C-alpha cells in the first residue's frame, strides 16, 4: 500500500533541496550530541521514512531515497518503509554498499551534499570528506532542511534537572573533575569540550529528563584547569541545582550560547575533543576559532571513568539487580499462570511489568520502553507493541520480554523468553542453543588485557555450530542510574576498520544476550547482566571472570537436553540454584516461591 504521507514529505524536502542547490541530503538518527536515543524533536529520519528504529540514516536525492540500518532492524524497517519508495540497505550484508560507498559511486563531481551539521558527528563528517575528496564535493551543513518542511515538529525537550542523594555516587563532582583534569594534562591539553550527554550527567552527578528513558539533560561543557562552563536550558534549573552548581564553581550559560562562546574564546593551548561525540558544526567552529593544530583527538576521559564502577556503585548495583530480578520472577509467574485464563496482549503484559517495577523502592523510570513480543514479532529485535498495535498472547508459542528500570542505585536490563504452550522441536533446539551460549560466556575465565572481541566466540560458538547467527553484538555496558547502553567496552565479534577496543576490567558490567531470530516464526533472547571481577593471580598473570548480576529462571520448558553436554547442564543447574537462593527470600507470596522452586529444579540428561 502506498504511503502517501511519507511520499509527500519527501516531495517537500526535495523542493527545498532544489531551492538551496543541494543534490543529496542526509539525515541520521541523532541529536546534537550523537546520542543513541533521540528526543522526538530530532526524529527527522523517522518523519521522512516512517522507520521508527533507533539506528538508521536516510539519504535523499531528487528522484531516490535510501535507508541504511543494521541487522537489529531489517525486518522492522522493511515493514515500516513499505510503500514509501525508500530503498532499504541492509548494513553489513554481502554486496550492500555502505552509505559512503553509495555516495562515492553516485554523486557527481562538483555536486552538493547537505546535512544539518549539528546532528552529524565529526568522525562521520571527516570520513565523508576523505572518501569524497577527489570529487570536489561541497558540504552544505548549516541548514536544517527538515525544520523548513516539518510544520508540526515537536518542541525541543525541556525538563527540570534534578539531584540525587550524594552518597549514591561514591565520588563527588569535584573529585571526578580532578580526575578529568589529570587526564587532560596527560594529553597536554588545557581545555576540553564535552558534549556527550551521559558523560556530562555522570561527571556533574546530576540527572535530567530530556531523552525518554535516559536520565540526561541537553547540555555542553567546556572545561579548563580552573573553569567549568555548563551550557543548559536555564528553564531546567531549579534553585537547588543552581546553588549546587554555584557551590561547585560552575559558570552557567544558555544552551544555545555554545557556538558564540566557542567562536569568541581565546585559546592559548590545546583542546581535547572526542571526534566521535562532538558534532560536525561544533568541530568546524573550533577549527575556525582556534586553528586545526590546537585540536587533540582522543576519547572523552569520562567515557572510561564512568564505565568502571566504583565500590559504592557496584554495591548498590548488586542490590538493585536482586530486587529487580525478584520482581521479574513475580512477573514471569503472573504470565505463566494467567495466559489463556485472562485477556492478555503484548501491550497489557508490558504495562503489567512496568507497573510492578514502579512499586520497587527508589524507582525513577524505565531504562527503555519494554519490549514485549509474542510469536513471530519476537524476530524483530527491537519490536515495541503499542496501545493500538499489538498481538494477543495465547497459551502457545513464546513471549519475549526485554525490560529494565532505573532506580536510585542502578540501571537494569534483562530479557527472558517464556514458553507459554506447545513449541516445535526446532524452537527447542534454538532455545537450548541460546541458553548454552549465554551460560558459556558467563562462565569465562580470561587474562587481564582481553577485550570483548576476544570473548564473543564463547557466546556465538554454540549457535554457529548450528549454522545460526544473530545480527547484533553480544554485550554492551550499562550506565549507573544512566543510559542502558554504555561504552566504551562491549562484546562483539566483528572487526571494523578504525574501531577501538577496550579491555575488560573489574568494575565493568556488561550484558550477555545471545539469541535466535527467525523471520515469520520466532525470536529468542536470554539476557543476563554480568560483572567483571578478579579471579586467580599466578605466574601466568591476573585472571578475570564474570559474576552474575541478574537472577531469573531460564524456562525449562524450552530446554532439550539432547543438545547439551554435562558441562552445560551443570552450568544451568548451578545458575538456577543461585537464582532460588538469592531471589526467593525477596518474594513474599509463597505460591510464587513454590513456583520458582519448580522452575529452578535440577535437570539431567
The pLDDT assigned to 242 comes to: 98
With pLDDT > 90 as the criterion, what percentage of the chain qualifies? 94
- The answer to whether residues 219 and 135 belong to one domain is no
Give the end of a domain, one of 305, 338, 373: 305
The pLDDT assigned to 72 comes to: 85
- The answer to whether residues 182 and 43 belong to one domain is no
Mean of the pLDDT values across residues 285-301? 95
How many C-beta neighbours within 10 Å does residue 142 have?
Answer: 12
Q: Which helix (H) or strand (E) holds 261?
A: helix 258-264
The pLDDT assigned to 54 comes to: 85
* pLDDT higher than 90, residue 497: no
The pLDDT assigned to 362 comes to: 97
CATH number of 15's domain: 3.40.350.10
pLDDT tier, 498 (very low <50, low <70, confident <90, very high otherwise):
confident
Q: CA gyration radius for the chain? A: 25
- The answer to whether residues 380 and 469 belong to one domain is yes
Mean pLDDT computed over every residue of the chain? 96
Mean of the pLDDT values across residues 575-583? 98
- The answer to whether residues 225 and 103 belong to one domain is no
In-domain check, residue 280: yes
In-domain check, residue 156: no
- The answer to whether residues 184 and 92 belong to one domain is no
Mean of the pLDDT values across residues 60-89? 94
State pLDDT tens for residues 358-388. Answer: 999 999 999 999 999 999 999 998 888 999 9
- The answer to whether residues 281 and 334 belong to one domain is no
The pLDDT assigned to 260 comes to: 96
- The answer to whether residues 118 and 191 belong to one domain is no
Mean of the pLDDT values across residues 511-519? 97
In-domain check, residue 290: yes
Burial class of residue 223 (count of CB atoms within 10 Å of its CB; 0-12, 13-18, 19+)? buried
The pLDDT assigned to 145 comes to: 97
CA 102/CA 96 separation, integer angstroms? 9
Mean of the pLDDT values across residues 391-418? 98
CA 545/CA 531 separation, integer angstroms? 8
Contact 474, 456 (CB under 8 A): yes
Mapped onto helix, strand or coil, the DSSP state of residue 235 is helix
In-domain check, residue 604: no
- The answer to whether residues 225 and 345 belong to one domain is no
Q: Are strands 528-538 and 57-60 parallel, antiparallel or unpaired?
A: unpaired
Q: Which domain holds residue 379?
A: 308-599
CA 435/CA 469 separation, integer angstroms? 14
How many C-beta neighbours within 10 Å does residue 342 have?
Answer: 9
- The answer to whether residues 96 and 212 belong to one domain is no
What are the residue ranges of helices labelled H in 363-500? 425-442, 452-464
With pLDDT > 70 as the criterion, what percentage of the chain qualifies? 100
Mapped onto helix, strand or coil, the DSSP state of residue 491 is strand
CA 145/CA 45 separation, integer angstroms? 12
Q: Are strands 228-232 and 250-254 parallel, antiparallel or unpaired?
A: parallel
* Backbone phi, psi, residue 541, to 5°: 125, -175
CA 372/CA 384 separation, integer angstroms? 7
CATH number of 553's domain: 3.90.230.10
pLDDT tier, 71 (very low <50, low <70, confident <90, very high otherwise):
confident
Could you list the beta-strand ranges (E) of 233-350.
Answer: 250-254, 271-273, 295-297
The whole-angstrom distance between residue 459's C-alpha and the CA centroid of its chain comes to 20
Give the end of a domain, one of 254, 272, 305: 305
State pLDDT tens for residues 521-566. Answer: 999 999 999 999 999 999 999 999 999 999 999 999 999 999 999 9
What are the residue ranges of helices labelled H in 173-237? 173-186, 197-204
| DSSP tag of 339 | B
Contact 252, 228 (CB under 8 A): no
In-domain check, residue 389: yes
Give the end of a domain, one of 277, 305, 333: 305
In-domain check, residue 157: no
The HSE-up count of residue 164 (CA atoms within 13 Å, CB side) is: 27
Burial class of residue 298 (count of CB atoms within 10 Å of its CB; 0-12, 13-18, 19+)? middle
The pLDDT assigned to 38 comes to: 87
Q: Are strands 87-90 and 65-69 parallel, antiparallel or unpaired?
A: parallel
Mapped onto helix, strand or coil, the DSSP state of residue 112 is strand
- The answer to whether residues 218 and 88 belong to one domain is no
pLDDT tier, 60 (very low <50, low <70, confident <90, very high otherwise):
very high
Which is it for the CA torsion 77, 83, 84, 87, positive or negative?
positive
In-domain check, residue 87: yes
Q: Which three cell numbers stand for residue 422?
A: 506447545
- Number of domains observed in the structure of the chain: 3
- The answer to whether residues 382 and 467 belong to one domain is yes
- The answer to whether residues 485 and 585 belong to one domain is yes
pTM of the model: 0.93
State pLDDT tens for residues 246-271. Answer: 999 999 999 999 999 999 999 989 99
93, 99, 102, 106: CA torsion to nearest 10: 160
In-domain check, residue 155: no
Mean of the pLDDT values across residues 335-357? 98
pLDDT tier, 402 (very low <50, low <70, confident <90, very high otherwise):
very high
The pLDDT assigned to 605 comes to: 85
pLDDT tier, 496 (very low <50, low <70, confident <90, very high otherwise):
confident
Amino acid at each position: 500500500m502506498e504511503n502517501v504521507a511519507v511520499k509527500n514529505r519527501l516531495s517537500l524536502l526535495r523542493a527545498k533541496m532544489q531551492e538551496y542547490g543541494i543534490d543529496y541530503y542526509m539525515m541520521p538518527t541523532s541529536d546534537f550530541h550523537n546520542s543513541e536515543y533521540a528526543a522526538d524533536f530530532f526524529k527527522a529520519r523517522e518523519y521522512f521514512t516512517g522507520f521508527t528504529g533507533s539506528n538508521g540514516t536516510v539519504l535523499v536525492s531528487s528522484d531516490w531515497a535510501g535507508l541504511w540500518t543494521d541487522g537489529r532492524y531489517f525486518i522492522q524497517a522493511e515493514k515500516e518503509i513499505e510503500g514509501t519508495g525508500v530503498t532499504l540497505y541492509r548494513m553489513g550484508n554481502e554486496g550492500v554498499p555502505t552509505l559512503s560507498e553509495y555516495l562515492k559511486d553516485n554523486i557527481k563531481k562538483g555536486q552538493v551534499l547537505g546535512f544539518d551539521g549539528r546532528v552529524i558527528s565529526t568522525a562521520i563528517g571527516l570520513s565523508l570528506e576523505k572518501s569524497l575528496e577527489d570529487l570536489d564535493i561541497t558540504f552544505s551543513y548549516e541548514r536544517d532542511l527538515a525544520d523548513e518542511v516539518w510544520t508540526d515538529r515537536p518542541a525541543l525537550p525541556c525538563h527540570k534537572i534534578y539531584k540525587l542523594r550524594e552518597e549514591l555516587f561514591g565520588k563527588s563532582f569535584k573529585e571526578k573533575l580532578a580526575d578529568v583534569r589529570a587526564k587532560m594534562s596527560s594529553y597536554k591539553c588545557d581545555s576540553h569540550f564535552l558534549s556527550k550527554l551521559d558523560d556530562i550527567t555522570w561527571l556533574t552527578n546530576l540527572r535530567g529528563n530530556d531523552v525518554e528513558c535516559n536520565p540526561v539533560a541537553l547540555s555542553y561543557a567546556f572545561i579548563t584547569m580552573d573553569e567549568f562552563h555548563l551550557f543548559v536550558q536555564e528553564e531546567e534549573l531549579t534553585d537547588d541545582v543552581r546553588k549546587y552548581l554555584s557551590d561547585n564553581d560552575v559558570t552557567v550559560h544558555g544552551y544555545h550560547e555554545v557556538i558564540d562562546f566557542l567562536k569568541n574564546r581565546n585559546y592559548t593551548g590545546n583542546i581535547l575533543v572526542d571526534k566521535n561525540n562532538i558534532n560536525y558544526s561544533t568541530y568546524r567552529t573550533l577549527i575556525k576559532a582556534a586553528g586545526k593544530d590546537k585540536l587533540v583527538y582522543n576519547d572523552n576521559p569520562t567515557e572510561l571513568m564512568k564505565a568502571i564502577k566504583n565500590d559504592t556503585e557496584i554495591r548498590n548495583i548488586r542490590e538493585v539487580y536482586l530486587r529487580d530480578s525478584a520482581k521479574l520472577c513475580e512477573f514471569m509467574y503472573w504470565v505463566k499462570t494467567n495466559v489463556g485464563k485472562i485477556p492478555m496482549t503484548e501491550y497489557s503484559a508490558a504495562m503489567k511489568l512496568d507497573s510492578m517495577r514502579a512499586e520497587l523502592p527508589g524507582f525513577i523510570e524505565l531504562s527503555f520502553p519494554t519490549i514485549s513480543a509474542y510469536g513471530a514479532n519476537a524476530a524483530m529485535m527491537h519490536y515495541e507493541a503499542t496501545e493500538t498495535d499489538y498481538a494477543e498472547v495465547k497459551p502457545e508459542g513464546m513471549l519475549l520480554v526485554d525490560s529494565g528500570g532505573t532506580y536510585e542505585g542502578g540501571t537494569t536490563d534483562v530479557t527472558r523468553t517464556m514458553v507459554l504452550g506447545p513449541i516445535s522441536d526446532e524452537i527447542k533446539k534454538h532455545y537450548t542453543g541460546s541458553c548454552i551460549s549465554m551460560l558459556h560466556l558467563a562462565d569465562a575465565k580470561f587474562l587481564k588485557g582481553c577485550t570483548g572481541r576476544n570473548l564473543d566466540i564463547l557466546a556465538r560458538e554454540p549457535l554457529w555450530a548450528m549454522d545460526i547467527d544473530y545480527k547484533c553484538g553480544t554485550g554492551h555496558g550499562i550506565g549507573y542510574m544512566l543510559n542502558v547502553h554504555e561504552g566504551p567496552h562491549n562484546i562483539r565479534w566483528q572487526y571494523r576498520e578504525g574501531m577501538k577496543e577496550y579491555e575488560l576490567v573489574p568494575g565493568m558490567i556488561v550484558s550477555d544476550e545471545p539469541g535466535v531470530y527467525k523471520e515469520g516464526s520466532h525470536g529468542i533472547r536470554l539476557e543476563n547482566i554480568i560483572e567483571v571481577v578478579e579471579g586467580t593471580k599466578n605466574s601466568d598473570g591476573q585472571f578475570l571472570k564474570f559474576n552474575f548480576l541478574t537472577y531469573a529462571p531460564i524456562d525449562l520448558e524450552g530446554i532439550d537436553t539432547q543438545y547439551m553436554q554435562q558441562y552445560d547442564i551443570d552450568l544451568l543447574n548451578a545458575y538456577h540454584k543461585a537464582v532460588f537462593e538469592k531471589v526467593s527470600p525477596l518474594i513474599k507470596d509463597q505460591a510464587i516461591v513454590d513456583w520458582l522452586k519448580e522452575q529452578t529444579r535440577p535437570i539431567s540428561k
